[in-house]
Amino acid sequence: MRRTWQTLLGVGLWMIAAISAAASSDLTTAREIFATGDFPRAAEEARSTKTAKGWALAARAGLVHADLVAEPQDRLKFIEQAEEDARAAIAMAPDFAEGHLQLAVALGFKARLEGRLTAHAEGYADEARAHLEYVAVREPDNPWMYALLGGWHLEISEVGGFLGRTIYGAEVEEGIQAYDQALSLRPDDLVIVYQCALQLAALGDEPFKSRAMTLLQKARLPDNPDALETLTFERMRILKDALATDNDTMIEHVVRTQKGDAVAVSAPGRLQIRPPIGSPR
């Protein structure tokens, strides 16, 4: 009997090791697909591993697609699927930071699409902040946590004004400090640089727009960029062109369009706004 149990235990351990290796292999494939820009297929591949890392990667792929590639009418379905994937990652591995970070992003995107009243009623801002604080306690040097926290403060300060700052405790200076911390940890990360510049431009005041332009002018595309870096750099070019016009209406239109807000200001025609490279739009 002992041999039988030892044999079964050995087989069980072998199967677990094999499953773990297969999941790792599938995630490698998912990451390779992600790098090419086929974000929906990368999400499917990552999701199929049924691991916390897989669901978190699936969430990230879905959110990138929703933000940079999807048609406006399709964004919400990708965001909602990403939210489901992020929650699955958290349920499987509560201490895994990436699940919490991706859920915070998904909630922020939903808030933009559904509007401030729905976002407030559904508690998106409070839940997103809670997930960021959870990561902050466990990974105090996580650059993505700082970037998302910076976005949280600046988004609420810009959209909610004084009332939003009062209700949620958001502060422009805290948002800028959080972004500064993220940039000190990953100064050349195009996604962090772009999101910081976009949020600063959204505030509208000249010092913020000037800081945004400085960040955009210093940014450089890597020699061998992946799809996300290419798409992000193109967004940065469009935002930089808008800031160069010094036309507040134009800048506001570009910011609202790039944020994916439910309602964007109608754009005057003197700036050609091209879709990102690789986008079907």
Q: Name the more confident of 25 and 249.
A: 249
Residue 136 pLDDT exceeds 70: yes
- 88-100 pLDDT, tens digit per residue, is 999 999 999 999 9
> How high does pLDDT run on average in the chain?
85
Tokens of 80: 């909602």
Question: In which band, very low, low, confident or very high, does the pLDDT at 119 lie, cut at 50, 70 and 90?
Answer: confident
Residue-wise DSSP of 145-160: HHHHHHHHHHHHHHHH
Contacts for 199 with CB less than 8 Å, ≥ 6 apart: 150, 151, 154, 155, 158, 175, 179
pLDDT of residue 20: 40
What confidence category does residue 272 fall into, taking pLDDT thresholds of 50, 70 and 90? very low
Q: Which pLDDT belongs to residue 25?
A: 53
Mean of pLDDT values over 152-169? 79
Q: pTM of the prediction?
A: 0.83
Beta carbons within 8 Å of 71's beta carbon, 6+ residues apart: 280, 281
Number of helices (H), then strands (E), in the chain: 13, 0
The per-residue pLDDT for range 203-230, each reduced to its tens digit, is 999 999 999 999 999 999 999 999 999 9
Per-residue model confidence as pLDDT tens digits over 122-131 = 888 999 999 9
Estimate the crossing angle of helix 227-245 against helix 2-36, to 10 degrees.
Answer: 40
Give the per-residue pLDDT at 123: 87
> For the purposes of burial, counting CB atoms within 10 Å of the CB of 63, is it exposed (0-12), middle (13-18) or buried (19 or more)?
buried
pLDDT value of residue 19:
35
Q: What are the structural domains of the chain? A: 18-123 (1.25.40.10)
- The CA–CA distances, whole Å, from 45 to 32, 87, 210 equal 10, 18, 41
pLDDT in tens, 37-96: 999 999 999 999 999 999 999 999 999 999 999 999 999 999 999 999 999 999 999 999
The span from the CA of 58 to the CA of 41, in Å, is 9
From residue 97, alpha-carbon distances to 29, 113, 153, 238 in Å are 22, 25, 20, 32
Residue 154 CA to residue 158 CA, distance in Å, equals 6
Cα–Cα distances in Å, from 64 out to 43, 82, 177, 231? 10, 10, 25, 10
Alpha-carbon distance of 27 to 160, in angstroms, equals 39
pLDDT of 21 strictly over 70 = no
- The pLDDT confidence band at residue 118, using thresholds 50, 70 and 90, is confident
